Amino acid sequence: MTRARHATAAMRDALARAIFASTPYRWSLAGKTPKALIVAPVQPWPGDAARGAQILKGSFAVGAELRPLGENAWSADGSEHWRAALHGFAWLGDLHAVGSDAARRRARELIADWLARHRRWDEFTWRTDILTRRVTAWIAEHDFFCASADDGFRDAFFRELSRQCRHLFRMAPGREAGVRRLLVAKAMIYAAVALPGPKQRLSRVLRLLEAELRRQILPDGGHVERSGRAQLAALRTLVDIRTCLASGRRPLPTLLQSTIDRMVPALRAFRHADGGFALFNGACEDDAWLIDAVLAQAEVPGRAPDELRHTGIQRLRAGRTLVIVDAGAPPPPGHDRAAHAGTLSFEMGVGKDRLIVNCGARDDGTEWQDAMRGTSAHSALAISGTSSSSIGADGGLHIRPGTVECARHAADGAVWIESAHDGYRRGFGAIHRRRLYLSADGHDLRGEDRVEAAEAASAVARFHLHPSVSASLQAGGESVLLRGPGGDGWRFRATGGTLALAESIYMGRRDEARRCEQIEVRAEFGPGGGALKWALRRVGPDD
C-alpha cells in the first residue's frame, strides 16, 4: 500500500472512530427492544466443564495464559489475545457445560457487569471479530443464562443485544477476510433469525454468505487458506448456520448444503490416522474430538480422498503408512495471515503413531509465532538458510512461490508424486523439485530433493521427528535408526549430503512445547545444482 493510501485509510479510520464514539451515533442504535428471542438456535457443541469450573473459581485461561478475573473482570491486565477471548463470551458454553445454578448466576453476573461498563462504543470491545463472537454467544447460550433471569436483567440484555446487532448490520462484514468473514455472516444470520427485524435482513446476509462460499471454498471442497484448522472452522460455521436456519424453519440455500457436502471429504484429507490434523498452515494435532463432532453434525459419509488437486494436498497411503504432503501454492493475499512457508513439506505416520512431522504453530503473538511459520520448522528443504516464503509487515506472505507443480502416479500398488516450486527463484535463481515414492507395502518411503540453480548454493533437508520417536545415529553417522512408541523401527539413509541429528521443538499441541529431534541432510551444490536422495525403510525389532 502506498503512503498516500495509508494516509487515506488512517483518516477514514479516525473519522469512523469519531462517529461511532459520538452521542448521536449511540442514539441512532436505539430502537424497539424485544422481550425474548423469536427462535433459540440449537447449540450442538459442548463446552469445556473444566474451563467452566476455572471461571467459577475466578480465573480465565486462553492457551497457556491464565489470569485472575478479579472484582472487575473487564479491566484485567491480559494480552490482546486473552482480552479478545474474554470479551467474545464464547466461554459461556464452558459455564453451560458445568450446568449448575452457580454457573448460571456467574454467567449473568459477568454479563450484567459488562452491560454496566460498556454502554458506549469502544474501539476494542466493539471490534468486528470480537462483536461477532459476542453476539453469537449471547444468542446461542441465551436459554442457559437468561431463562431464569429477572425482568431487569432481561430488559438490559435485550436492549444491548439489539444495539450491537444494529451496529453489526450497518458495518458488516467490514475488513474481515477468510473464516472470520464467514463468522460475521453467521452472527448476522443468528440475529436475523432470532430477533425481530426487517425480513430483508436475512436475504441480504444469505447473499453475502453465498458470495463468500464461492470465493473461499475451492472446487475440491478445500478452504482457500489450505489449513485443516481453517477447514474445520469454516465447516463448523456452515453447520451452525444450517442448524440455525432449520431451527427457525427458514429454507436452506442449495449452495450451503452442497458446500458442506464438498467440504467434509476435504476435511478428512487433512487428518492423520490418529484423528488429528497434519501440521500445515497453523493446524494442530489435538482437535480430533472436535473434528469427529463436526463430521457427525455434518452428516456426510465417505472417506478421505487421495488428493485435493485444487487445494494442493496429497495423501500417499500403503499398508499402515500414510504420508500427507503440502503440494500446493501458498494461500493468496488476504488469506495468508496464518500461512506457513512449508511448500512441499510432508508428514508421515505409521498406524496411529506420527513419525515425521512439521513443528506446529502458535498464534499467541510471541516470537514463536513467526518462527513456526518458517521453512526450517517444516520437514522440507531450505536453501541458504532462508524460507521459501517470507513474512511481510502485515503478517501475510511477502515473497512466495509463484508456481507450484505436482503430478501423481501409481503402479502395482505403489504411489509417487513429482512436485516442484520456484520460491527460491527470486533470491537464488533456484527451483526445488521433490519426488516422494511409497512402496506397495508401505515399508519403503524414498525421496529425492533436487535443486536446479545457475549459481552455487547450500541446502538443508530437514525431517522433524515427533517427540514420541527415539532416534540414534548408526554405522558411524551413515544412517539414523528411528523407533516409534509402538516399537516400529525405521532406518533413514541419505546420499548427496551430510547426515546429522539435531535438536528441534514440537508445538503440534496447543499450550504445549516439547523437545524433539530432527534429521538434517546438508549439501553444497555447485553451479547447476544437485540432488539429495534419501530413504526410510522399515526394519525388524532386532535391527
DSSP at 413: T
Predicted pLDDT of residue 541: 67
pLDDT tens-digit series, residues 18-35: 888 888 888 888 888 899
pLDDT of residue 15: 75
CB 363 within 8 A of CB 369: yes
- Which DSSP letter does residue 217 get? B
pLDDT at residue 46 in the model: 85
Rounded Cα distance, 227 and 339, in Å: 8
Whether 190 and 244 have beta carbons less than 8 Å apart is answered as yes
Lookup: cell for 422? 520456484
Distance, in Å, from the CA atom of 133 to the CA atom of 141, rounded to the nearest integer, reads: 12
Q: pLDDT digit string (tens) for 353-395?
A: 999 999 999 887 778 889 999 999 999 999 999 999 999 888 8
3-state SS string over 351-389? Answer: CCEEEEECCECCCCCCHHHHHCCCHHHCCCEEECCCCCC
Residues β-bridged to residue 537: 444, 491
For cell 472436535, the residue is: 290
Instruction: Spell out the residues 6+ positions from residue 526 whose beta carbon is closer than 8 angstroms to its own.
Output: 456
| Per-residue pLDDT, 200 | 86
Topology at the third CATH level for domain 312-539: Beta-galactosidase; Chain A, domain 5 (2.70.98)
| Whole-prediction pTM | 0.93
Residue 356 grid cell = 515425521
**What pLDDT score was predicted for residue 3?**
57
Do the beta carbons of residue 55 and residue 16 sit within 8 Å? Answer: no
CA 404 to chain centre: 22
Q: Give whole-number Cα distances, 452 to 97, 393, 417, in Å.
A: 56, 30, 18
First CA to last CA across the chain, in angstroms? 59
- The torsion defined by the Cα of 301, 305, 310 and 313, in degrees rounded to 10, comes to 120
Q: Which three cell numbers stand for residue 223?
A: 478452504
Per-residue pLDDT of the chain (543 residues; tens, 9 = 90+): 455 555 666 777 777 788 888 888 888 888 888 999 999 888 888 899 999 999 999 999 987 789 999 888 898 888 898 999 999 999 999 999 999 999 999 999 999 999 999 888 888 999 999 999 999 999 999 999 998 899 999 999 999 999 999 999 998 888 888 999 999 999 999 999 999 988 789 999 999 999 999 999 999 999 999 999 999 999 999 999 999 999 999 999 999 999 999 999 999 999 999 999 999 999 999 789 999 999 999 999 999 999 999 999 999 999 999 999 999 999 999 999 999 999 999 999 999 999 999 999 988 777 888 999 999 999 999 999 999 999 988 889 988 999 999 999 999 999 999 999 999 998 899 999 999 999 999 999 999 999 999 889 999 999 999 999 999 999 888 999 999 988 889 999 999 999 999 999 999 998 789 999 999 999 999 999 999 999 999 997 666
User: In degrees, to the nearest 5, what angle opens at C-alpha 17 toward C-alphas 12 and 18?
Assistant: 100
Domain ranges of the chain: 14-171, 204-299, 312-539
Q: What is the pLDDT at residue 163?
A: 94
